[in-house]
Amino acid sequence: MIRHTLSETLRALENDIQAMGDLVGRATVDGVRALVLRDLALADAVLEREGEVNRLWVGIEQQVQELMALQAPVASDLREVLAVLAIATDLERSGDHAKSIARCAYESDSSAPAGALVTLERMADAAQGLLRDVLAAFAHRDPEAARTATSRDADIDGLYQAAQRDLLAHMARNAEGIVEAQRILNAALRLERIGDHATNIGERVVFLATGEHVELNS
C-alpha cells in the first residue's frame, strides 16, 4: 500500500510540474506581449496567473515534505523526488521573471527601438519552446531530448546579445530614451535567465535518467 501511495504521489507531482510549466511558458510570452504592446489588461492577467504558479509551487513543496517524512522513499525514488523539487524551483523563479516583465508594461512608453522589441518577442517564443521541450524530456525521462533542447539556449543567449547591442547603441544616440531602453534590456536579461532555468531542468533530466551530473550549454 505504501508503495502504491508513493507512486501515485510522484505521478501527481509530475502533473503539477507540467501544469506549472504550461503556466510559466504562457506567462513568458504574454508578459513580453504586454510590454511590447503596453497592454495593461494582458499584464494584469499575467500577474493573476502567477498566483496559480506560486500555489502549485507551495503545494509541490508541501507534498515533497510529507512524502519524505511519511513514505521513506528508496534511493531511486529519492532522486526523482529531489528532481521534482529542483524543477519546480526553476519554474517558480522563471515565473517570477515573467511577472517582472509584465509589470514593466505599466511604465513603458513608445520610445524603444522596434528592432529590440522584435528580438524580445523572439526570445520569449524561444524560451517558451525550450521550457516545453525540457519538460517533455522530463516526462519521458529522455536525456538525449534534454540535451538537444538545452542546446537551443545558445540561441536565446545570442538574441540577448543582439538586443543588448541594439539598445546600447540606441541609448548612445537618444538620451531621452535611456530609461525605456534600460527597461527593455532588463526584460531581455530576464528572458535570458529563463533560458538558464530551462537548462537547469535539462541537466536535472539527464541526472535523473543516467545518474550523471552534467553542465549543458556551458
- Residue ranges and CATH numbers for the domains of the chain are 2-210 (1.20.58.220)
User: In this structure, what C-alpha cell is assigned to residue 157?
Assistant: 543567449
Report the alpha-carbon distance of residue 8 to residue 12 in Å, rounded.
Answer: 6
Q: What is the CA radius of gyration of the chain?
A: 19
Which segments of the chain have a pLDDT < 50? 1-2
pLDDT reported for residue 97:
97
pLDDT reported for residue 174:
87
- From residue 150, give the alpha-carbon distance in Å to each of 123, 126, 176: 14, 11, 38
Report the alpha-carbon distance of residue 142 to residue 119 in Å, rounded.
Answer: 30
pLDDT reported for residue 4:
52
Evaluate if pTM is beyond 0.85: yes
Report the alpha-carbon distance of residue 23 to residue 138 in Å, rounded.
Answer: 17
User: Minimal CA–CA distance to 177: which of 117, 88, 120, 96?
Assistant: 117
pLDDT tens, 75-96? 778 888 889 999 999 999 999 9
- The residue with cell 537618444 is 174
CB 87 within 8 A of CB 138: yes
pLDDT tens, 32-57? 999 999 999 999 999 998 899 999 99
